Amino acid sequence: MITAAPTYDNRTAFAETLIELAEQDRRIVAVSNDSVGSSSLTGFRDRFPDRLINVGIAEQNLVGVGAGLANAGLIPFVCAASPFLTGRSLEQIKADVAYSAQNVILCGMSPGLAYGELGPTHHSPEDLSWLRALPGLDLVVPADRRQTAEAIRQAAARPRPTFIRVGRFAVPDVTPDGVALERGRFQQLRDGGDVTLIGTGTLVSRAVAAAEILAAEGIAARVLNAAYLAPLDVAAIEAAAGETRGIVTAEEANLAGGLGAAVAAEVVRLDRARRVPVRMLGLREFAPTGSTAFLLDHFGLTADGVAAAAREVLDHG
């Protein structure tokens, strides 16, 4: 029997870490689109009222202001709900941040299906797809509060054009002691020689749970945490193809252009003899109305869903 672990909102780790870093470095500023509360910036505003810029509901301006602050030598954390940050200001992210190589840290708050009942206008399963198309932009999707805090620390210490998906849906801790967040690297959370499960963000803990289900059936599953989607850990994907009989990807995101598409593209590039079947779990359509938990279940983004996909890969590989 799998015991439910405590779960945490990654925005809390984000907020606490940003304040801690800002105490030490006056260059750190926050920029908001009238979303101080939902971006967990209330504490930052109260502690540093002169270092929070609220541009109002004007996301294109939000990113442009962030780029200007970076150009002036500051370290801006540009925070907004991910659908509006990435959808409304995609041109500014492309031109003012990625193309111009400005050291802006874009924080996509409450991404994926986190807004639940507010529906597709507030969901952001597309953010990874369209941002992956931009050269020069790092994409970080922390799996838990430890990785969230570390992603913020690394962004402040070595600022570069970066998008960090800051999850709202509560997840358990999955990062073991001593497992570091490294740019462009997946973290192996479990070893196995039968099948590889690659999760990102919310789905990492569910991939770990799926591996436990499969272990009870005698199936050894390797679990990889795809904390970085750009740069992509091509070596880990090639190793998974060479050392296991199939790959399952799981993401709270669109399959068109997301983690699964990235992994499948790398597998296809391998010699025919080295290719393995890839099963991708994610979204192919707009979500119905319902809680985040309901929506994840609806799309099969559960431990049981990941385990079923692994069996399918092994049975038909």
Cis peptide bond N-terminal to 120, omega within 30: no
| Residue-range definition of the domain harbouring residue 263 | 187-316
- Is the same domain home to 58 and 194? no
- Is the same domain home to 148 and 24? yes
- Is the same domain home to 32 and 140? yes
Which residue did the predictor score with more confidence, 136 or 4?
A: 136
The pairing of strands 187-190 and 221-225 is antiparallel
Q: How confident is the model at residue 139 (pLDDT cuts 50, 70, 90)?
A: very high
- Is the same domain home to 24 and 113? yes
pLDDT > 90 fraction of the chain, expressed in percent and rounded: 96
C-alpha–C-alpha distance, residues 67 and 54, integer Å: 15
Residue 290 clears pLDDT 90, i.e. is over it: yes
pTM: 0.96
pLDDT > 70 fraction of the chain, expressed in percent and rounded: 99
- Is the same domain home to 238 and 124? no
- Is the same domain home to 196 and 309? yes
> Mean pLDDT in the chain?
96
The DSSP bridge partners found for residue 118 are: none
C-alpha–C-alpha distance, residues 53 and 65, integer Å: 9
The angle at the Cα of 33, spanning 27 to 34, to the nearest 5 degrees, equals 110
The tokens for 34 are 């009238």
| CATH classification at residue 130 | 3.40.50.970
| CATH classification at residue 207 | 3.40.50.920
Write out pLDDT tens, residues 57-111: 999 999 999 999 999 999 999 999 999 999 999 999 999 999 999 999 999 999 9
Task: Tell me the one-letter amino acid at 280.
Answer: M
Residue 247 clears pLDDT 80, i.e. is over it: yes
The tokens for 145 are 């509060």
278: exposed, middle or buried (Cβ count in 10 Å: 0-12, 13-18, 19+): buried
Residues near 189 by beta carbon (within 8 Å), at least 6 away in sequence: 174, 175, 176, 179, 204, 208, 223, 224, 225
- Is the same domain home to 19 and 106? yes
The tokens for 4 are 């439910």
